[in-house]
Amino acid sequence: METHIAVLKGEPLKAALATALREAEGLGGQERRFVALAARELSRHTRLLDLAARQLGHSPGKHALTEDQALVRYTLWRRLFCGEGWARIGPEVKLPGPVRPRTLHDAVLEGLATKPLEEPAAPEGPEAVVERLATRYSFPGWLTQRLAQVYPEGTLAGLMASLDEEPSLHFRARPPGTRDAVLAALAEEGVAVEAVTCAPDALRVSDSSHRIFESKTMKARRLQVQDVGSQLIVLACLPPGASLTGLTVADVCAGAGGKTLGLADLVGAKGKVLAGDRSKRRLSDARERVREFGLKQVTFPHPVPLEAVDVVLVDAPCSGTGSLAREPDQKWKLSAKAITEFQATQSALLAEVAAKVKPGARIVYATCSVLPEENDAVVEGFLKKHPDFALEPVGEGWAPEHQVGVDGPYLRALPPRIPGGGFFAARLVRKAG
Ligand SMILES: C[S@@+](CC[C@H](N)C(=O)[O-])C[C@H]1O[C@@H](n2cnc3c(N)ncnc32)[C@H](O)[C@@H]1O
């Protein structure tokens, strides 16, 4: 609840949760996972929880304490999403309770946990679908409206349901050796895993245990935690029928290095990955991960020299609408204006990179957005202004089972068809001469 209060006061969920877990001494693994789950769930289901509170006659005034708001949401989350009764919820929230200051009496919380709650009336009229989906999956109305203009109802409902769920963990099997070898090694250690067939190296744990993190395979760095869509973006950096072994790749928005590690595996020990990012803090996380994985082929020159590289990955800053399952607080911070601003930044970044690369070089433009204005529109706008570049279809030469997320020339990894977050990638090549 402290984390949710920090989020209500404006802190990003990820940072607030990291602080809370750092300060929570004496908590075991299971308790830490519960804290993280609860913090994400309260942000994730905000709209539905607040609607339930109103139906139960609780309408906080404009000046209600954020502490009270967090207590109400937590109580209703435990009731509606965990199926708990007051006997369990009461001791968690009753005075003296975990949260101060507060103005709520225990009786109010008990009422929220116990009073009968009816299904809300189904909305009617032209906006019914949007309203129903926005409520059911706790999305802001404007964003649901926009998504409904892009995706047919069936696709949209599946996408929103996936983005409204606690995300499952996916891993990438790393060289040397194949995914099958990694699966076999994990099975021998008694870790239940299965291949995720829509990406060549993806796998997931098939029971609810967390033993994989203690496995020798994990400790030997044969695994990286990585979304399936992110793995496909790295794969999109491979030109059709070619190999990147020994070549030079730049990762100009490397962030904390998630895709940098995949690129390092693609170029191998004889290749080079030049990683950069505007954020020094994220780059220092990337440096740490690269060091942990012992990847000497990755360096962090500043600025990243792009003139001689073969491939540049521009994993652009974006709305993160494909990552809302992992960062649910973001859906309440986004706005249509912010999306327009992201689009301008993405176009500028792409143009900046394009001005520097050699003929024959490829640029892979990627986002974790599910909105075409940050994806197709940026690429189409770029091609109009840069006739010296051509679109090279992503997915050409990929095995049929890896093509699930391929949509025309683009990679459009959308859950639930591709498990995990939603991602986009396009590959552009600078024409020779
Ligand atoms: C989507 S995140 C990158 C995630 C990362 N590639 C990964 O796989 O973990 C986008 C990154 O772009 C960085 N960024 C934003 N504006 C930038 C700019 N003008 N130049 C370089 N990096 C920028 C942000 O700091 C952020 O780390």
Characterize 123-141 residue by residue with b for buried, 16 or more Cβ atoms within 10 angstroms of its Cβ, and e for exposed.
Answer: eeeeeeebbbbbbbbbbbe
ipTM for the assembly: 0.99
d(CA 249, CA 312): 6
Collapsing DSSP states into helix, strand and coil, what is residue 193? Answer: strand
At 416, the amino acid letter reads: P
Q: Could you tell me the end-to-end alpha-carbon distance of the chain, in angstroms, rounded to an integer? A: 60
- pLDDT per residue as tens digits for the range 65-124: 999 999 999 999 999 999 999 999 999 999 988 888 899 999 999 999 999 998 877 778
Q: Which domains are delineated in the chain?
A: 2-114 (no CATH), 128-163 (no CATH), 170-225 (3.30.70), 229-430 (3.40.50.150)
d(CA 289, CA 269): 16
* Feature table: binding site for S-adenosyl-L-methionine: 277, 315
Supply 277's token pair. Answer: 């990012």
Q: Which of 77, 52, 13, 78 is nearest to 135 (CA)?
A: 52
Residue 31 has a CB neighbour count (10 Å cut-off) of: 12
Sign of CA dihedral 233, 239, 244, 250: negative
Residue tagged active-site, from 237, 253, 318, 368: 368
- What are the distances in angstroms from CA 394 to CA 240, 368, 398, 427? 8, 16, 9, 6
Atom of ligand 1 nearest to the CA of 251: 6
At 410, the amino acid letter reads: Y
Q: Is 318 a catalytic residue?
A: no
Residue whose Cα lies nearest atom 27 of ligand 1: it is: 255
**pLDDT band at residue 226, thresholds of 50, 70 and 90?**
very high
Residue whose Cα lies nearest atom 7 of ligand 1: it is: 258
**Percent of the chain, pLDDT > 90?**
87
Mean pLDDT, range 151-166, rounded to an integer: 94
- pLDDT per residue as tens digits for the range 247-300: 999 999 999 999 999 999 999 999 999 999 999 999 999 999 999 999 999 999
Q: Which of 277, 312, 318 to mutate to test the pocket of ligand 1 (most atoms within 8 A of CB)?
A: 277
Q: Which of 172, 224, 253 to mutate to test the pocket of ligand 1 (most atoms within 8 A of CB)?
A: 253
CA of 281 to the centre of ligand 1 (A): 11
Predicted local confidence at residue 62, as pLDDT? 75
Least confident of 177-181, 205-209, 300-304: 205-209
Collapsing DSSP states into helix, strand and coil, what is residue 376? Answer: helix
Mean pLDDT, range 215-229, rounded to an integer: 96
**Residues contacting residue 174 through CB under 8 Å, at least 6 positions apart:** 182, 201, 221, 222, 223, 224, 261, 265
CA of 277 to the centre of ligand 1 (A): 6
Helices 13-23 & 29-44, crossing angle to 10 degrees?
Answer: 150
Residue 40 has a CB neighbour count (10 Å cut-off) of: 23
d(CA 183, CA 173): 8
User: 């993806």: which residue's tokens?
Assistant: 202
